[in-house]
Amino acid sequence: MANRTITLNDGTEMPVLGFGTCQFGGPETMIKPLQVAFESGYRHFDTAYTYKNEKVLGKAISGWIEKKLVERKDLFITTKLPMYGVHPERVEKFFNSSLDRLGLDYVDLYLIHFPVCGKYNEKEDTYLIENSVFLTEETNYIEVWKILEKMVDAGKIKNIGLSNFNISQITKILNEARIKPANLQIEVHPYLQNNELIEFCKENGISVVAYAPLASPELRTILKLTGLPFRNYPSVMGDDTIITLSKKYSKSPAQIILRFTIQRGLAAIPKSLNACHIKENIDIFDFQLDEDDMSLLASLDKGNEGRVCRVDFKGILEHPEYPFK
């Protein structure tokens, strides 16, 4: 059976099913879904500086707390240092801004979003892009990590972790860290199972959160429209094996995929704007995939070919710390 929480390396309990909030329709599109998610039982919320919705999430949180629907200690809030903040001189500014937007005294988990340092477009508060090329700088994530450790000491962050880092990059952090990473957030779904990286994390006491656990069908559509690098993968939720298992267990394809993810010992943060989907995605604790079906699902892995969130934009792709080569 899968537990409802994963214990982090400092003893913190992180709910295995969290709510992803990366959206492309403006921050206000999250207001209603956040409320539905809260009422459906989600207590783990994943945001990031770059999602531009920390204020909306913060307002929702203060409303729940003011109405005494929940206590702060029972929520698990993750946010992330943007790529353009992965610089020793900019970490504090971005962290303080996230904390301020969320209206919180501390975050439960703070992640370095990506192991590349992007240049900051201060005027537009985003990436600095020139002629369709993302401008980058040399990355010193060890120095950045040391600053995050001090923020843990100051009580502003409960746990620190990484996102989109590979084994060699995590090893460099492990070799220098006073506080070991508590978590790695990476893309994981049946077409990209990331076994080696997950095994490495297990050996080093690092919990893993699966992002884009349904293989981000929306991102595929958006990339197609924008003309940004895109590969036309078949939909994971439409996979024949998953449809067959969906019928066998009388569960939706999304529920089969999410159950597979948590039975692997991972947390997952599916995102949805649809109330039925939001409820369905957390309703995965009343059934269990048997060993044969776990093996069947394991056989769907396509390795790096299955990756959807490649972040292979000009400038970032050529950076020496680009993690997915």
Ligand X SMILES: NC(=O)c1ccc[n+]([C@@H]2O[C@H](COP(=O)([O-])OP(=O)(O)OC[C@H]3O[C@@H](n4cnc5c(N)ncnc54)[C@H](OP(=O)(O)O)[C@@H]3O)[C@@H](O)[C@H]2O)c1
> 120-121 and 126-127 as β-strands: parallel, antiparallel, unpaired?
antiparallel
Q: How many residues bind ligand X (CB under 6 A)?
A: 30
Residue window 90-129: x/- pattern of binding to ligand X, with contact defined by CB under 6 A: -----------------------x----------------
d(CA 255, CA 135): 40
For the annotated catalytic residues, the residue numbers are 51
Any binding-site annotation on 44? no
56 binds ligand X (CB under 6 A): no
Q: Which is nearer to ligand X, 158 or 277 (CB)?
A: 277
Q: Which is nearer to ligand X, 178 or 224 (CB)?
A: 224
d(CA 212, CA 309): 8
Nearest residue (beta carbon) to ligand X: 20
Shortest gap between Cβ of 19 and ligand X (angstroms)?
A: 8
Segment lying near ligand X (by CB under 6 A), choices 52-60, 92-100, 115-123, 271-279: 271-279
Q: Which is nearer to ligand X, 130 or 271 (CB)?
A: 271
What are residue 168's phi and psi, to 5 degrees? -70, -35
Among 20, 85, 315, 323, binds ligand X (CB under 6 A): 20
266 binds ligand X (CB under 6 A): no
228 binds ligand X (CB under 6 A): no
d(CA 165, CA 187): 11
271 binds ligand X (CB under 6 A): yes
Q: What residues have CB less than 8 Å from 188, skipping those under 6 apart?
A: 194, 198, 208, 210, 211, 212, 213, 261, 266, 268
- Closest residue by Cα to residue 223 from 208, 212, 213: 212
Q: State the burial class of residue 35 (Cβ atoms within 10 Å of its Cβ: 0-12, 13-18, 19+).
A: middle
Segment lying near ligand X (by CB under 6 A), choices 1-9, 212-220, 243-251, 284-292: 212-220
How many residues are recorded in the chain? 325
Among 92, 137, 218, 312, binds ligand X (CB under 6 A): 218
| 158 three-state secondary structure | strand
Residue type, 279: K
Rounded to 10 degrees, what is the CA torsion of 47, 49, 55, 57? 0
Among 135, 219, 228, 296, binds ligand X (CB under 6 A): 219
Task: Name the site residues for ligand X (rule: CB under 6 A).
Answer: 20-22, 46, 113, 163-164, 185, 211-219, 237, 252, 254, 269-274, 277, 280-281, 309
